[in-house]
Chain A
């Protein structure tokens, strides 16, 4: 890898955010899970495990086995959402970086990796206009609740090529991140008797250990199967600003499996399924502060996806793969008065090799455009619940050096 490419990678690592605002459903529980996958897998319905070809996503530590080049993979994901809830609608834009990964072939059989990826998004903001009865007066209020932060995962791992058909991978790391919650109340219409605004801010720092194992098996030259298992220790949320109480949560065991195969000389199919045992975190949630209030519950969730990749048109030695995919995921958190939340998305993707050959690419850009919907928070009070229709663009860049 050139010095310039290394510098670029460091810049990207420094600027990576675990989350930058993804869903109002992250008001529930510990937030909304965000998959640390790049654009190719995103376009194939999130099927990153067992995917033929280079797969820098974090789903399977064995996925990068056999990569003979130094490289860096970066993904960026702007999202535009139309939100509707309780008769009100709005639009929200946000951008995040779900994945940064550095690859380094330590030997002919082993590839070392350092990766930083998203895990849980806890960034949201809600503004509410209301009134407060103060003594004999009723004054208008505007409450702004802003939650900024999330949890990301840092992996140090290695993938080992046992044979031409079998690779193993392992990684260790930590879940890390922080969360700031800021509440502001302003009194917009008190000119004659001005009321100073209220603001409070608390923050936490997150830490939890993790370890992941993966296997990649090519039983046939045209077929690849992968599987992974991730163990996570207890997430410690240590109170920081504002001295909030510390909290701790059991994070889920996670299993993933997937496969891909060449259905035709130029058509690839990929599927994957992932399971996360989030229900174990529910025991650590606090009961409602007051009787009659809804508590937070968690459930085990499935994340399913698949897609097709057509090698696409060619221009000289270059090909431009076109991808279609579909993805469905259950969301783990809700209030006990609400129905379960979920999301789906249909994806269209495009690949573009900027430099290098098909066998030894130097720079590859992948795009995935998803149209999807999240739905949740439906209850007796709000039977239609919260709907987020989103356009999500994932753009990833893979740079390699010989």
Chain B
């Protein structure tokens, strides 16, 4: 009995211990002469894969971004922007502080609720790397003298809320007598303007719908301001021989510019207001037949190959000089959940990007002709469109939005040749692989 048990145990152990797989070996490569797979490149022109493209620029208005632009004759003279970009920064401040803190003669910090404001200063901080000017620039600060709406004001309209549209008497912001001026030079990150007591009182009078400061440049420049602060000088009632500074943060800031961001024939991406470009690709890419050197008949359907890589090839083109991005930028493509109930520009985007540019694009790419094309990888997105549909499953998304990463951080925008551009339209570059020989002899 023991012998039988041992024999059965041995048999079972043999089975369990003998399960092994063949290890791949690199020895036999030449046994398969000519290889078994082929990888090759396919470039689809816009007419083959791209049904439509368009751009929309209604995202992230100047009032919503965290910077201000001041420009004068920037990018000019060149049509249609001659004499160049003009931009004014407008800031509206909150009320003056109700109390100020000061030190008494004993060195203790005390709070005074009846301070007397005797003027102040306007402090501007600049993004020196993203500010451009050929030389020193004099900046001048004015009071705004017409009621205006920070959320909707533009170069020509002081209020543009949809139902109410009121024009500035003076385009760019109706202004009073200059408050002060200061000179900015390259590398300088801070400027201070003196504000008299009457102006300070007007700017902090919340009952005054016209209150606000307007900043303009008097020489060619495009400067980027990262913060505006009004600091008031106050004499505490308990110690009138002392002057203390108290900050007033602007409640709202915006900038207005002229000409407005042009809608060119190019695909426009990012900027302020922020542009997005939408591309609708052809469904059923699997039905496309592409050239294949060693395929029967010289062609192969995309359904019969595996897409190793797909990239949208975009050709940067020169944008309006005043609107060239002030810094390098990154662009991603997000699938669009297109709905018949919503205009394309308002359709929601998928949460994950279908692809991102592999490196940042320098502003120089949009400054003139001759920039190298850039590739935006879209492998999974395109592979889904090139897969043979499965009955009962929804069609894959076929519309993409190109947008900056992140949005709302640049004033200038990127421009790429659109579907209608002759010789520079978007292309789809595919690297595909097909099996040459997997069959039985």
Contact = CB atoms under 8 A, between A and B. Distances in A.
B3 interface: yes
A121 to B, nearest CB: 10
B19 A124 contact: no
10 contacts: A20-B20, A29-B441, A90-B25, A94-B21, A124-B28, A145-B32, A183-B435, A192-B358, A196-B309, A247-B440
Contacts of B308: 187, 195-198
Interface stretch (A4-12, A107-115, A258-266, A267-275): A4-12
Interface string B402-427: 00000000000000000000000000
Interface string A195-218: 111111010100000000000000
Contact of B14 (A129, A193, A382, A397): A397
Interface residues of A, number: 88
Contacts of A354: 3, 6-7
Contacts of B19: 15, 95
Contacts of A148: 22
B12 A11 contact: yes
B342 interface: no
Interface in A64-99: 74, 76, 78, 83-86, 88-90, 92-95, 97
A313 interface: no
Contacts of B15: 11-12, 15, 76, 97
Nearest to A2: B4
A8 B9 CA distance: 8
A83 B367 CA distance: 61
Contact of A200 (B23, B32, B438): B438
B29 A5 contact: no
B32 A88 contact: no
B439 A8 contact: no
Contacts of B22: 20-21, 92, 94, 123-125, 146, 148
A386 B31 contact: yes
A96 B12 CA distance: 15
B202 interface: no
B25 A24 contact: yes
B98 interface: no
B37 interface: yes
Nearest to A79: B20
Given A95-B19, A197-B308, A198-B433, A146 B5 contact: no
A244 B439 CA distance: 7
Interface in B27-58: 27-41, 43
B438 A127 contact: no
A362 interface: yes
Interface stretch (A49-57, A155-163, A289-297, A366-374): A289-297
Interface string A359-388: 000110100000000000100011000100
Contact of B441 (A30, A74, A397): A30
B191 interface: no
B24 A144 contact: yes
Contacts of B170: none
Contact of A199 (B32, B306, B439): B306
Contacts of A362: 3-4, 7
B8 interface: yes
A355 B31 contact: no
B441 A296 contact: yes
B312 interface: no
A84 B31 CA distance: 12
B343 interface: no
A116 to B, nearest CB: 13
Contacts of B435: 183, 200
Interface of B: 3-8, 10-12, 14-15, 18-41, 43, 294, 306-309, 358, 375, 377, 379, 383, 429, 431, 433, 435-441
Chain A CB count within 10 A is highest, among B3, B12, B30, B34, for B30
Chain B, interface SS category:
mixed
Contact of B30 (A86, A139, A197): A86
Interface string A109-141: 000000000000001111111101011000101
A143 interface: yes
Q: Which 7 A-B pairs have the closest CB atoms?
A: A21-B22, A128-B29, A355-B3, A198-B433, A135-B41, A363-B7, A126-B28
Interface of A: 2, 4-5, 7-8, 11-12, 15, 20-21, 24, 27, 29-30, 74, 76, 78, 83-86, 88-90, 92-95, 97, 123-130, 132, 134-135, 139, 141, 143-146, 148, 179, 181, 183, 185, 187, 192-200, 202, 204, 237, 242, 244-245, 247, 285-286, 289-290, 293-294, 296, 333, 354-355, 362-363, 365, 377, 381-382, 386, 395, 397, 399
Nearest to A136: B41
A21 B21 CA distance: 7
B353 to A, nearest CB: 15
A125 B25 contact: yes
Contact of A84 (B11, B14, B27, B309): B27
Given A185-B433, A397-B11, A145 B36 contact: yes
A290 to B, nearest CB: 7
Contacts of B377: 193-194
B296 to A, nearest CB: 9
Nearest to A363: B7
A20 B22 CA distance: 7
A126 B29 contact: yes
A125 B435 CA distance: 16
A127 B28 CA distance: 7
Nearest to B436: A289
A130 B269 CA distance: 40
A125 B24 contact: yes
Contact of A399 (B11, B24, B35, B38): B11
A137 to B, nearest CB: 8
Contact of B358 (A29, A78, A193): A193
A141 B383 CA distance: 21
B27 A128 contact: no
B4 A5 contact: yes
